[in-house]
Amino acid sequence: MWNYILVSCMVLLVSLFYHCYFKKPISIIDYAEQTYDYIIIGAGTSGCVIASRLSERSNVTVLLVEAGGYFGWWSAIPLAAPLLQGSEVDWNYKTESQLYSSRGLQDRKQSLPRGKGLGGSGQMNYLVHSFGKPEDYKNWPKGWSHADLAPYFSRVSDSMKATLTSTEEYLVKAFAAAESTLGSANVTLQRAASTFSNGVRWSTYHAYLQKAWNRRNLHISMETLATKIETKDSRATGVELMFKNGSRGRIGVNRDVILCAGAFNTPQLLLISGIGPAEELEKHQIAVVKNITEVGKNLFDHFNVPIFANLIAPVSITLKKMQSFRQLFNYIVLGTGLWATNAVMGLARDNDSGVILFGMGSTDENLLRKLANIHTETYRSMFPSYNDSAYEGFLYLASCLKPKSRGTVKLRSRDIRDSPIIDPAYLQHPYDVSCTHRAIKLALRILATRVFRKFGASVHVPDFQECRDLRQDYRDPRYAECVMRMGGLTSHHPGGTCRLGMDPESVVDEYLRVKGIEGLRVIDASIMPAPISGTPNSVVISMAERASDLIKN
């Protein structure tokens, strides 16, 4: 057995060495040309798709600009996603102090990890695959309905290797069996689908960019920051860049500049380039190129309330199990076991209220408390497993799938290197509170089913000092609201800040062109008109696929 392990490790090291030193993609460049047909800003989830699809035509030239570099080997491990947060591959954004939520967090600020490097946030997310439900798209513009996107959903499911969670997991079996017990037409429970292959993360970096990065008509400039979109006579003419050594340059464009920088960085770059609300631009002494009032507005995000469930039966993922020789062997040698999962086991929905079953009990307090920017007292009150690596339990993440609260992204300064001012306004709208409470009650109903009682499942009720004057019961709406406003956390699903639409106030039209500026498009989560009832990553990939067809045609 030890010989087998040794040989496997040697093969791994040799392949890594060969990849690093002998297989450098020809698309990775040190110096860009003076002009390109297309310049894509951001090599994240959508940018990798657009770069791959547009460069399929050998008669066009494509430049992909990325502020970061490569992600480390940790990014390949699905369950290691939190280890990348707060590192050099994270933009490390935080919200402004929240008025209606985050009372148990440091300075009432949420941490907003965003991937910085090839693959973007798709290299550090939890890989959950979802397209929501058809009704989510009913008010989307012509060409972007559920029926219009359905062929792309099918294509993306294949290219991203979407697979359902194994039914061999005890908690998955229990979750699936609970649906018949609940007896409600509005309630659906299903196994989670995720995008990883043979225990390894599978993002658009793997599925799209790596297939394209040896094409001579595609250039990739890493550790290069786009500082401004240049325009003349209401047309995008090029991009101003800052390179790794601090020098600046200008690259011209023949056809389109395509922004794929995400829900925070895309509106920031538009504003710095003089495209956005005139009053915001004038405040920072930026010349107004085009007054588009909705740039940076309409920010939405799902907001999770972690509900901890205690277990007696040893059926969850714990730190102690993960650290065992058997699990390490299974992953390193066979690509299986706990490390080869993302711990997301099931999804439940009751109309617009949703629950995710995250099957991990014990957590690393020092790591997760810091990453979530949460007070020690808040963390320990919510997670009874904080000091026990063998603690059996799991989380229900309860949220409103179609929140009505809307926030903003604004400029901190006219310097692109200064992080934008991000205010999601979590729980500002009263509907989000009642909708989230319905999600919590759904979690409790599932937990009370016979299959979960068989595992000795029971809900943990946090003992927040701020909530002690209330009846300590999640079914009590006042107590549930208190917990929401104390310990609710971002789902990392921001979008909407450069809204797609046919109305005069929208930022991009049905062809994803920025209104009033020729040769400038936006293709990322910022264009989503409204939240979907699920995780948005695969929807963004599908939109990028359709956008590629629109541009090529």
Q: Which residues are catalytic?
A: 493
Contact 535, 344 (CB under 8 A): no
> Which two structure tokens, joined as six digits, stand for 94?
């935080």
Average pLDDT, the chain: 93
**Would you say residue 506 has pLDDT above 50?**
yes
- β-partners of residue 196 are 201
> Which two structure tokens, joined as six digits, stand for 551?
């541009």
End-to-end, the C-alpha distance of the chain in Å comes to 56
CATH of the structural domain 1-96+112-160+202-299+494-553, one choice from 3.40.50.720, 3.50.50.60, 3.40.50.2300, 3.40.50.800? 3.50.50.60
**Would you say residue 94 has pLDDT above 90?**
yes
**Would you say residue 15 has pLDDT above 90?**
no
**Would you say residue 21 has pLDDT above 70?**
no
Domains 1-96+112-160+202-299+494-553 and 165-199+303-400+427-487 share a fold: no
CA–CA dist 179, 529 (Å, integer): 31
Q: Which amino acid is at 27?
A: S
**Would you say residue 311 has pLDDT above 60?**
yes
Q: Is 395 left (phi over 0), alpha (psi -120 to 50) or beta?
A: beta
Residue 441: pLDDT band with limits 50, 70, 90: very high
Percent of the chain with pLDDT over 90: 87
Residue 1: pLDDT band with limits 50, 70, 90: very low
**Would you say residue 14 has pLDDT above 60?**
no
Check residue 6 and give its pLDDT. 39
pLDDT (tens digit per residue) in 123-138: 999 999 999 999 999 9
Domain ranges of the chain: 1-96+112-160+202-299+494-553, 165-199+303-400+427-487
* pTM for the predicted model, two decimal places: 0.95
Residue 19: pLDDT band with limits 50, 70, 90: very low
Alpha carbon distances (Å) from 342 to 99, 114, 120, 308: 32, 18, 18, 18
The single residue listed with the structure tokens 């049905």 is 510
- Strand locations in 166-298, DSSP E? 187-191, 193-197, 200-201, 218-221, 225-232, 235-242, 248-259, 275-276, 290-291
- Strand locations in 360-504, DSSP E? 393-400, 408-410, 421-423, 458-459, 489-490
**Would you say residue 13 has pLDDT above 50?**
no
CA–CA dist 545, 345 (Å, integer): 28
- Among 373, 331, 336, smallest CA distance to 73 is for 331
CATH for 165-199+303-400+427-487?
Answer: 3.30.560.10
Q: Which residues contact 515 (CB under 8 A, 6 or more apart)?
A: 290, 292, 506, 507, 508, 509
